[in-house]
Structure 1
């Protein structure tokens, strides 16, 4: 058992990461040892990252031990860098979180100051060398074995390598050493990867009195949606994916997303979507002592098609259909509403599939595809079976005739009329070159029932006689 994390009191007692528990108890007999729970630590850090969205949307994970915040362009909203840093540390202190933080022009320098300097430090770009020089080489985020190798040759601080010739260092210790040094000094770029997508537009309200009720949240959502309209109009876009962020007083953050079937910028409809969403997540939305920050963001936007009303004063009927689809999806989930979409296959059971309705264009896609490709010029049954059912046919004409009677589901049907065959070849690239050809017939029995049968295989081809199957019914 070894130490994987420790607080400042343990550090001041002489304990260190990777140290055995037995050795640690010998140094400090009275210590609290808690079993490590990496999953819980990760979940806590991700929750902390959500909480940091109040300062900037550009929050990146630093492994399992810290966070990087890109506050470029955000500091003026909080009174400057010093005010932002003090506010962050103070709020974390009141939440019971022991944290260390620093601000500089590079992630590497900030990391070094937060881990090996005084917490709350701010550094200018020209002071980077002076700050790094007295720090141990571990401040460059080097592997422990690399730091040990450097120590064996007398290099223990960053200042020891600042002015050494670079070529011998690279040959002996590899390029990673100088890469980390240059990143900390700002000579090499080190881009941060935000853990979440950055919204294209956002509106936020910071509340003096936290709100708890759903009506209050919906009222704020309506106000924020109205604030998004000018930005969307300027871009000629409408939102397709909205996200409502609720920052609870105790640090918990709720993210509630709402998708739309078409580009949307009507504030009333956006608020209506969140009425449905809040009802759907009602049991999981614990307001606690209330929400102090409410933010509405547009995560995905598309060009907005202006719909002009006709002379009767009614808008396009697709608008009401889109509103209905949005309500259903908001209440029941993204997979609750599906539409049939044509697939790239001419076999009936593969030619169409149900897909979640994510775009209003999907509603008209099947009709356009049928008319443009010319598929299915003949009638198709109203009900198509997912799996064709075996049929016993009697006295079928050879080689291409329809049966005079057939037995299906233990019932004998006498054929009154038949039309066909409609020949559909097998997809050899899927089913193999030996897959049989199908001949489809539209058949009406003496009782007026209409069926869709096919003969699987052709007479005179192969040693196995063709078999008959029922694939659908017309009425």
Structure 2
């Protein structure tokens, strides 16, 4: 077993990460050891990253123990780069964490300067050249090879021709050197993508009331709606973040079935979401910042108003009801069926969250008015096994027994043959059948006028010597 991390007291007595536990106990017999919990550490780091959204929308994880913030265009809101960095460090230290930070022109340089403190130089480029070769984040073998060659600092490498370094130490060393010197860097991958619209409100005095914070959020929603209207769009997803003065952040997200941009509708959904929370939002010492973003927007045409003042958009009331129910009951609890490209009846539809389906799907032709339906109004999944009497093994049914009741067939239509979907091996399989068989469907009516949907599973002789029969649906 090896040490995953060491605190300041451990470092003071010579303990280092990756040291074996036996060596560590030899140095300090009374050593206190705790099991590493990398998943919990990752979850905590992600929460800290989300909390850093108060400084910039472009916040990313930087390894298992770091955060990377792109503060371009944001530092002036905090009185400069140093003031922003100091505020971030102070907030993190309130949680008992030791923080080392650095500000640089590239992510690679900031990463290295925060982890390898060196004496300051007149400018950033000179400071970077003083960094050890380990700051390049190469494999351990490569760093050892560089030191053996007498190349101990980034400046030593920068003084050598790139072609010579690539030939001896590989192209990775040259690429890492150029990235560290700002000649080219890897793009930052924010934990959350930049939204189409983002509105921030900072307060000189923290807001101690959630109700008042929602009033300010409504003003922000009005501004967001105006921006959406200028673009001819409506929002399908809205996210609000309540930043507390002690560093905690409370995110809220709502989705809509149709694009919307009016503030009352947005706030109504936000209030529904707050009411549905198991733990209410606690303002604590107050909210010092609010953020409203629109991560998903879609085209939204202008709405014609009726003379009596009502809107003529069909389906808006249903969409609003779906939105509210989805928030109260859960996003996946309110569903809508959509067609799926499959010939197998029980595979021909999907149940998706209703907020993901903008409008009722097109299920194809439904026949002429007055014609009997081709598909039953109730489908059994899985189909129910029945006993059938037929004139010949591959003929239509004359009588069948279902749920211990005998039904005489007086009329039938069919067969309608549905072959198995060979590209989906198990579609069409019944009761463990691994490949599926051909189905011959019949629409039948018994002596009491009740109509059923039956099928024979398997071609007689070609696929099975004894085809089974199943009841798949009820027409009426």
TM-score by length of 1: 0.86
- Of 324, 327, 330, the match for 1:330: 327
The answer as to 2:215 corresponding to 1:256 is no
2:317 is matched with which residue?
320
1:444 is matched with which residue?
445
Equivalent residue of 1:77, what SS? Answer: helix
Equivalent residue of 2:441, what SS? Answer: strand
2:465 is matched with which residue?
464
Check whether the contact 1:262–1:359 (CA below 8 A) recurs between aligned residues: no
Mind listing any 5+ residue stretches in structure 2 that lack a counterpart? 429-434
* Distance in 2 (alpha carbons) for counterparts of 1:459 and 1:170: 71
Change (3 A) 1:304 1:408: same
Matches within 5 A, 1:13-52: 16-20=16-20, 34-52=34-52
Q: Quote the offset at 1:458 in angstroms.
A: 5.3
Deviation string, structure 1 residues 168-210 (Cα, Å, up to 9, x no partner): 3222222222222111111122211111222221122223444
The answer as to 2:277 corresponding to 1:281 is yes
The answer as to 2:187 corresponding to 1:191 is yes
Return 457-466 or 220-229, whichever deviates more: 457-466
Check whether the contact 2:210–2:283 (CA below 8 A) recurs between aligned residues: no
Equivalent residue of 1:64, what SS? Answer: helix
Change (3 A) 1:25 1:158: farther
- Of 352, 355, 358, the match for 1:355: 352
1:92 is matched with which residue?
92
Equivalent residue of 1:102, what SS? Answer: coil
Equivalent residue of 2:221, what SS? Answer: helix
Change (3 A) 1:343 1:455: same
* Distance in 2 (alpha carbons) for counterparts of 1:451 and 1:377: 12
* Distance in 2 (alpha carbons) for counterparts of 1:463 and 1:280: 55
The answer as to 2:391 corresponding to 1:390 is no
Check whether the contact 1:340–1:366 (CA below 8 A) recurs between aligned residues: no
Deviation string, structure 1 residues 125-180 (Cα, Å, up to 9, x no partner): xx343112333222233333322222223222222222123333222222222222
Q: Root-mean-square deviation (CA), in Å?
A: 3.2
1:223 is matched with which residue?
219
2:401 is matched with which residue?
407
Return 287-296 or 17-26, whichever deviates more: 17-26
Deviation string, structure 1 residues 367-421 (Cα, Å, up to 9, x no partner): 4x3469xxx9943222111122222233547864441x32211111223433444
* Distance in 1 (alpha carbons) for counterparts of 2:374 and 2:269: 40
Equivalent residue of 1:259, what SS? Answer: strand
Q: Quote the offset at 1:311 in angstroms.
A: 4.8
Check whether the contact 1:339–1:362 (CA below 8 A) recurs between aligned residues: no
Q: Quote the offset at 1:68 in angstroms.
A: 1.1
* Distance in 2 (alpha carbons) for counterparts of 1:241 and 1:228: 12
Check whether the contact 2:107–2:185 (CA below 8 A) recurs between aligned residues: no
2:60 is matched with which residue?
60
2:374 is matched with which residue?
379
1:107 is matched with which residue?
107
2:264 is matched with which residue?
268
* Distance in 2 (alpha carbons) for counterparts of 1:87 and 1:20: 37
Matches within 5 A, 1:145-160: 145-160=141-156
* Distance in 2 (alpha carbons) for counterparts of 1:407 and 1:182: 79
1:424 is matched with which residue?
418
Length, aligned pairs only: 465
Change (3 A) 1:238 1:466: same
